[in-house]
Structure 1
Amino acid sequence: MIAEEILPWYDKHARELPWRLSPRQKRANPNVLYADPYRVWLSEIMLQQTTVATVKGYYEKFLASWPTVNDLAKEDLDNVLSAWAGLGYYARARNLHKCAKVVADELGGVFPDTEEGLLKLPGVGPYTAAAIAAIAYDRPATVVDGNVERVIARYYALEDPLPGVKPQMKECAQQQTPYERAGDYAQAMMDLGATICTPRSPGCVICPIQTACLARKSGIAESLPKKAPKKEKPTRRTYAYLFLSDERGALLRRRPEKGLLGGMTEVPTGDWVKQGDAVRNPELDHLAQWTELEGVVKHTFTHFHFEITVLTSKISQNLDGIAEAVQGAWAHKTEFSGLALPTVMKKILRHADYI
Structure 2
Amino acid sequence: MENWNSKTIAAFRRDLLAWYDQEGRSTLPWRQDTDPYRVLVSELMLQQTRVDTVITYFNRFMAALPTVDDLAAAPEDQVLKLWEGLGYYSRAKNLQRAAKYVVNDLDGVWPQTYEGLQDLPGVGPYTAAAIASIAFNQVVPAVDGNFFRVFSRLLKINDDIAQPKTRKVFYEAIAPIVDPDRPGDFNQAIMDLGTTYMKAKNPDTLNSPVKAYNAAFRDGVEDQYPVKTKKKKPVRQVYQAQVTYDDQGRLLYEQRPETGLLAGFWTLPLKQVDSIENLEGQQLTIKPVVHIFSHRRWEIWLVALDNDKTADLAANQAWLSVADQEALALPKVQHKLLARLKEMDDVSQ
What's the TM-score, normalizing by structure 1?
A: 0.87
Query: Corresponding residue for 1:351?
Result: 340
Q: Which amino acid aligns with 1:97?
A: Q
Q: Give the whole-Å Cα distance in 2 for the aligned partners of 1:266 and 1:113.
A: 40
Q: Give the whole-Å Cα distance in 2 for the aligned partners of 1:79 and 1:194.
A: 32
Q: Does residue 36 of structure 1 match 2:35?
A: yes
Matched-pair contact (CA < 8 Å) for 2:234–2:293? no
Q: Give the whole-Å Cα distance in 2 for the aligned partners of 1:122 and 1:110.
A: 15
Query: Corresponding residue for 2:22?
Result: 12
Shift of 1:161: 3.3
CA 1:232–1:12: 2 relative to 1, 3 Å: same
Matches within 5 A, 1:110-149: 110-149=109-148
Q: Which amino acid aligns with 2:138?
A: R
3-state SS, counterpart of residue 318 of structure 2: strand
Q: Which amino acid aligns with 1:291?
A: Q
2:290 to 278, 295, 298: 298
Q: Does residue 176 of structure 1 match 2:177?
A: yes
Query: Corresponding residue for 1:338?
Result: 327
Matches within 5 A, 1:266-345: 266-271=267-272, 276-277=274-275, 290-294=281-285, 295-313=287-305, 315=307, 321-322=311-312, 324-325=313-314, 327-345=316-334
Q: Give the whole-Å Cα distance in 2 for the aligned partners of 1:112 and 1:86.
A: 30
- Give deviations 1:19-59, integer Å, cap 9, x for gaps: 113xxxxxxxxxxxx51111000011111122212222221
Of the structure 1 ranges 53-62 and 114-123, higher mean CA displacement relative to structure 2 is found in: 53-62
Query: Corresponding residue for 1:74?
Result: 73
Shift of 1:318: 9.6
Q: Give the whole-Å Cα distance in 2 for the aligned partners of 1:241 and 1:132.
A: 44
Determine what percentage of the aligned residue pairs are the same residue: 39
Q: Which amino acid aligns with 2:339?
A: R
Matched-pair contact (CA < 8 Å) for 2:87–2:331? yes
3-state SS, counterpart of residue 245 of structure 2: strand
Q: Give the whole-Å Cα distance in 2 for the aligned partners of 1:95 and 1:278.
A: 36
Shift of 1:245: 2.8
Matched-pair contact (CA < 8 Å) for 1:238–1:279? no
CA 1:172–1:116: 2 relative to 1, 3 Å: same
3-state SS, counterpart of residue 271 of structure 2: coil
Q: Which amino acid aligns with 2:78?
A: N
Q: Which amino acid aligns with 1:293?
A: L
Matched-pair contact (CA < 8 Å) for 1:270–1:279? no
CA RMSD for the aligned pairs?
Answer: 2.2
Matched-pair contact (CA < 8 Å) for 2:141–2:175? yes
Q: Give the whole-Å Cα distance in 2 for the aligned partners of 1:191 and 1:6.
A: 10
Q: Give the whole-Å Cα distance in 1 for the aligned partners of 2:148 and 2:159.
A: 13
Q: Give the whole-Å Cα distance in 1 for the aligned partners of 2:108 and 2:169.
A: 36
Q: Which amino acid aligns with 1:307?
A: E
Q: Give the whole-Å Cα distance in 2 for the aligned partners of 1:53 and 1:62.
A: 15
Q: Give the whole-Å Cα distance in 2 for the aligned partners of 1:160 and 1:104.
A: 40
Query: Corresponding residue for 1:25?
Result: none
The 4+ residue runs of structure 1 with deviation greater than 6 A are none
Shift of 1:68: 0.7
- Give deviations 1:83-124, integer Å, cap 9, x for gaps: 222212221121111111111222233321111221111000
Q: Which amino acid aligns with 1:333?
A: V
Q: Which amino acid aligns with 2:191?
A: M
CA 1:222–1:100: 2 relative to 1, 3 Å: same
Shift of 1:246: 4.9
